[in-house]
Amino acid sequence: MELRLDGKVALVTGASRGIGRAIATELAASGARVMISSRKQDALDEAAKTMDGEVATFAANAGEPEQAAACVAACVEQLGGLDILVNNAATNPYGGPIMDIDLPRYDKTWQVNLRGPLVWTQEAFKAALHESGGSVINIASVGGYAIEHQIGVYNTTKAALIYLTRALASELAPAVRVNAIAPGLVKTDMARALWEPHEEAVAATMPLQRLGDPTDIASAALFLASDAASWITGHTLVVDGGLLVRG
């Protein structure tokens, strides 16, 4: 089955590297006009050069509402609309026991990882989705289903994002579908401390015997954004190589 997004406009946050970049690349290759966003313009420009299709850039901090609104407005103006929003941007400024986190880093994690997706969805809905309908995809984490002592605050935000996905799916139906993807351990710079330098040993603990690649998540995002998923909303698709099977 070939999944196509011809005539659609997508906006992907946190798209200059890792999972976001892979998703944007996949959506553009499938025919969508794509706006990519992250904090640094030079990184966006470099990423855009590697993508086929029509790709625009807009630098924005995903945790700042005014910048989110400006990016959504630019997407609608430059690309002619907005049909698909991928809330991928996330941060994890703290590693360690929950009891030891300072409030500034706690607040930043929630600002970007949970408040951010809500704000971007609100802006996308006001600007375009309320009229044309469309799809919102939130990038959560299998950490939202598990206990990991070094990233407990991050995982708490992802658990909340999974709930928010369901709540928004109920509220925005039938015009807008809202789903999430919960990646397992994917080889990205953000997750490097979790798998390097013991990649083979970590992979051996997984049923499918390998770590995830950003393209694994991109394929899932393309499916959820496409008409092939037109009767799916409020769902979180776990893409983890079977990690949760073993707990």
| Catalytically active residues, by annotation | 154
The rounded distance, in Å, linking the Cα atoms of 49 and 167 is 37
At position 148, the amino acid (one-letter code) is E
Q: What is the DSSP letter of 226?
A: S
- The burial class, CB within 10 Å (0-12 / 13-18 / 19+), for 73 is middle
- Reference 51, options 85, 11, 16, 82; nearest CA is 16
The percent helix, strand, coil of the chain (3-state, each to 5) is 50, 15, 35
Which H or E run contains 20?
helix 18-29
